[in-house]
Every structure is written in C-alpha cells, then in structure tokens.
Chain A
C-alpha cells in the first residue's frame, strides 16, 4: 500500500533546453543537469555520438507529467522517431551502408567531422524545425495535453484499472482528436517538404551567385537580415524569427562556396589535353569551372634532367593527370572538398592535400600545382580512360582499385625520382 513508487527515467518537463533528456537524467541520477549537458556535448565531439544518444533517449523516454509519472500515452513523438532514424542514418560511418545510401557525403578523410559536417548541420536544422513546430503546437492549448486527457480519463472511469493503465484509453476510438492530429501531421509533412524544396532552390541560387562573383550581394543580404533580427529583438516580439531560416539558407551555401574559393568562371564541360611537346603546355596551365579535365602527359618526349611545370585549376569536378611511369612527380595538389590521389598518396575530406616533394635525381621531373574547389584530383601512370571511367561520383569505393596498387605505385615513384 505505502510502497514508494519506483523512480523512473523521464524527460524533464521543467528543466529542459531541447527535449528534456539531460534534465531527466540529472533528476534520475540526482546530479547537476549542466554536467549531463556537458557530457552530451563532449560525446557529440566524438563522431556525433551525443546527438544519436540524445535522440534515442528522447524517443524511448516518456515525458514527465510534472508529478514524476509518465505524461500522455507514453508513445514517442513521430517527429522524434523520424529525426532519430535520420540522425542514425546520417551520423553512422559509411561502411554501415555500403556505397550507395550516403555515397555523395562519404568524405571521411583524416578528420571525421570533415565528412559529416554538412550532415550534422542538416540534423541540427531538423531538430530546430522540430522544436519550432512543437512550440507552436503548445501555444494555443495552454497546457500539457497529456495531463488534461489523463484527468478526463480518470474522471470518466471509477475503477482501479483506469489508474493502473490510464494510457490505454487514449488510444481508443473515442479519442476525439486522433484523426485531426494525423491530418495535421500530414499537412506539416507536406509543408516541410515544400519548404525544403524552396530552401534548396534558394541555397543553390546563393551558391551559384557566390561562385560567379556576386558573393558580396549575398553577404549583404545576410548581414541585413541579421541586423533586422537584432533590432527587431528589442520590440519584444518574435515576429521576426522566421527570418532566421532564410538567412541560414543563404549563409550556409554562400559561406561554403566562399571559403572553398569556388569559381565557375573557367568554362563548363569536358576538356582533354594531350600535348606532344613541352611548348604546347601553357605557362598558366589548364583551368576549368565545372566538368572533367584530362591532361595526358604520356605523349611528351621526356629526357633526363628535364623539368616541366604544370598548373591546373578546377572549380567543381574531376581533374585527371596521366604521367609516364619514368617521370618523377613533385606535386602540391589540394581540394577544398573532395579527394586527392597522387601516385599512391591519398587525401580526402575538407581541405584535402597531397604535398609530395621527392628527392632530386636525374629523372625527368614534373612540378605540379593542382587545385580543385570540390571534386577529385587523380595523378597516376595509368591511361586517363582507366582513371576517368566510373569515377565521376563520390562513392566510398571510388578509389578501391587505385588503393590496391597504391603501395607499389608509391614505391615505384620513389625509385623513379632517386634515379
């Protein structure tokens, strides 16, 4: 009769910043909630684990109704389920999914976050959206809906069974707002999809404008929106908050393009250069805005002590440089985002770079300075056709066969340079 009710892990109603998970854990463990939040942030720094753990806990842990008992029907919010599934799909490493599902974003590299930063941003934006919608839902009701329904259920029922399993009544056919909630959820999903498509279009326009030299205009608009928000804050009304979303939609792609120094002013398409003499190699090198650039140097007559300098500049796409096996390659190849593969040396992710400065011998030497804003740079002694075919994508298996012979190619390159 007087048994103390077992303490349950619940999401805190009163001490919450996002979904009340940290507050609930702190209450359960009787520790300072700030410590739990710091632990989540720290865990997030290790590959996003904190985000996944938080969302999973937000799903499996029911809300506190304010009395230490679970509120509502104890079922997780559909929004949270969707967000958690997306977060798990997004944050787990690529090998869990094979080359297809997240192939365009598999830019792992040495810095784990380098490959997942965009995805974490997406997940963060989704969480923010969820919180915004939930806040709107709560405003008109003026209280905890779960508590109200529970009270009504208790008033209707006089048997003890109701107290033991009050939540079952909420799922019955007499629950009046179930259909309405489903319709509203469908409407919200449709609206969110439409907003997402619109946001993608605006983001693409912002990125394109920045890449074509109009970044100052985009930056000006972003600053103006920020100023309106900051000034509007002093009116005490939240009417300007909707500007946050378009500002971020503009700022994120423009910032990424500006930082990557992406420029689409070098033309678009396929470029194939196969010089047969050193004089045919332009002093300012080869450049392309978007597309596929091939430079095949195997047809050049190479001789001992020869030195050739080559520059390539790519905006978005793949640069393939084929060199003869007897050529020593001294390379500085960088990709703001993507992959760089230079004769067995590989770097992937954000700010990928291969800086190869082999010892000087008498072998002919290529001094290569190659840049790409987003995409791939491949330097190898294989024919361009082998390097280009099926390598336009960004899947995790794109360098598999090159990786297989990487050690031999690296060793051969070192031997060539020391001759």
Chain B
C-alpha cells in the first residue's frame, strides 16, 4: 500500500481528475443536459487550473523533501 502511494504521481492524478471533470461538464453543457451560466463555467475552469497548480506545487515539494 505504501509502495503504491510512493509510486503515485500526485500531480498527474489530480490534474487528470480535474480535467476529466471539466471535460464531462463541457460534454453535458453542449448536449444541453445542464445549463451552466458563463460565469459558473469560467469559475470551474479557473478552479481546475488552480487545483492543477496546487497539486503541481505540492507534488514538487513532496518530491524534493
């Protein structure tokens, strides 16, 4: 278990999940399943970028320690 967590690349995992969620939101929006206002969608995109940045920073810190 600990070996797996050591092998886990946190940045890729978090970025992958965030990007998949954003992709799903876009898909639902273009298919008219949901109706997000522009502000909400842009905020979600900004939040995804922020999460990726945080994961990148935390991953670099963990790797450097």
Residues of A near any B CB (own CB < 8 A): 16-18, 111, 114, 117-118, 120-121, 124-125, 127-128, 131-132, 135, 210, 215-216, 218-238, 240-241, 244, 247-248, 251-252, 254-256, 258-260, 336-337, 350-351
| Chain B 49-61: CB-based contact to A (< 8 A → 1; otherwise 0) | 1101110111011
Contact status B26-A215, CB under 8 Å: yes
Contact status B4-A337, CB under 8 Å: no
Residues of B within 8 A of A260 (CB): 38
- The total number of A-B Cβ pairs within 8 Å is 172
| Chain B 18-60: CB-based contact to A (< 8 A → 1; otherwise 0) | 1111111111011100001111111111101110111011101
- Candidates B16, B39, B49; contact of A227 at CB < 8 Å: B16
Chain B interface mostly helix, strand, loop or mixed?
Answer: helix
Contact status A258-B30, CB under 8 Å: yes
- Candidates B21, B23, B29, B56; contact of A131 at CB < 8 Å: B56
Contact status B7-A232, CB under 8 Å: no
Contact status B30-A135, CB under 8 Å: no
- What would 13 A/B residue contacts be, using CB atoms closer than 8 Å? A17-B57, A18-B53, A124-B50, A128-B49, A219-B26, A225-B19, A229-B12, A231-B16, A255-B42, A256-B42, A258-B41, A259-B41, A351-B38
Interface centre among A121, A128, A219, A220 (most CB of B within 10 A): A219
Interface centre among B4, B12, B20, B56 (most CB of A within 10 A): B12
Residues of B within 8 A of A221 (CB): 23
For residue B30, give the distance in angstroms from its CB to the closest CB of chain A. Answer: 3
Contact status B38-A121, CB under 8 Å: no
- Inter-chain CA distance A213–B3, complex, in Å, is 46
Q: Which residue of A lies closest to B59 (CB)?
A: A238
Residues of B near any A CB (own CB < 8 A): 4, 6-13, 15-27, 29-31, 36-46, 48-50, 52-54, 56-58, 60-61
Contact status B19-A229, CB under 8 Å: yes
- Inter-chain CA distance A241–B19, complex, in Å, is 12
Contact status B9-A251, CB under 8 Å: no
Residues of A within 8 A of B11 (CB): 233, 238, 241, 244
- Candidates A16, A121, A210, A251; contact of B30 at CB < 8 Å: A210
- Candidates B24, B27, B45, B57; contact of A252 at CB < 8 Å: B45
Interface centre among A16, A132, A227, A233 (most CB of B within 10 A): A233
Residues of A within 8 A of B49 (CB): 121, 124-125, 128, 248
For residue A275, give the distance in angstroms from its CB to the closest CB of chain B. Answer: 32
Contact status B17-A226, CB under 8 Å: yes
Contact status A222-B53, CB under 8 Å: no
Q: Which residue of B lies closest to A250 (CB)?
A: B23
Q: Which residue of A lies closest to B19 (CB)?
A: A226
For residue A165, give the distance in angstroms from its CB to the closest CB of chain B. Answer: 30
